[in-house]
């Protein structure tokens, strides 16, 4: 009941964003269950590329709102919306808005030396999904456009 009251206090734009996040989270989860990742990977962008760090303030604000919506809905889905599902959903939402982002896949060892996998999404200098990935070693990345390369002298 409290959650419904919170949703009622939101504006129509926020409600629409939450609904869109639910759609993309469901589609991402279904896709990861039904399709091998090697077929999904090309849809995520250019492999081993990173989007530019510089984005407009408006794009940054939209990206943060998308991150908020994905995070809020992911906590409440009846299916498991883990980090990779969240990163793919947020990436799709940003792509619809013409905002470049980079999806990262990383690995780390826990205290028992067991490998842990993690996915996160960044837009500019901000982390959109995935929290603090500092303990993870980046193994792969996917971006719409590679960051501009400076010519070497």
Write out pLDDT tens, residues 80-124: 999 999 999 999 999 999 999 999 999 999 889 999 999 999 999
Per DSSP, the three-state class of 123 is strand
Distance in angstroms (rounded) separating the CA atoms of residues 37 and 18: 26
* Beta-bridge partner residues of 127: 122
Q: For 70-89, how does the pLDDT look when each residue is reduced to its tens digit (9 = 90+)?
A: 999 999 999 999 999 999 99
Rg of the chain over CA atoms, in angstroms?
A: 16
Domain borders along the chain are 2-143
Structure tokens at 69: 């919506």
pTM score over 0.95: no
Residue 126 CB partners (closer than 8 Å, separation 6+): 60, 63, 64, 67
């Amino acid at each position: 009941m409290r959650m419904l009251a919170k949703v009622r206090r939101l504006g129509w734009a926020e409600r629409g964003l939450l609904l869109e996040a639910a759609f993309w989270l469901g589609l991402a989860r279904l896709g990861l269950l039904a399709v091998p990742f090697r077929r999904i990977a090309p849809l995520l962008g250019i492999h081993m590329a990173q989007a530019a760090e510089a984005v407009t303030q408006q794009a940054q604000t939209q990206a943060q709102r998308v991150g908020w919506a994905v995070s809020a809905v992911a906590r409440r889905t009846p299916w498991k919306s883990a980090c990779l599902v969240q990163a793919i959903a947020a990436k799709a939402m940003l792509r619809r808005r013409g905002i470049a982002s980079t999806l990262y896949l990383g690995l780390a060892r826990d205290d028992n030396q067991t490998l842990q996998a993690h996915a996160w999404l960044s837009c500019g200098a901000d982390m959109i999904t995935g929290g603090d990935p500092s303990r993870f070693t980046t193994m792969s990345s996917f971006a719409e456009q590679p960051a501009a390369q400076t010519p070497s002298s």
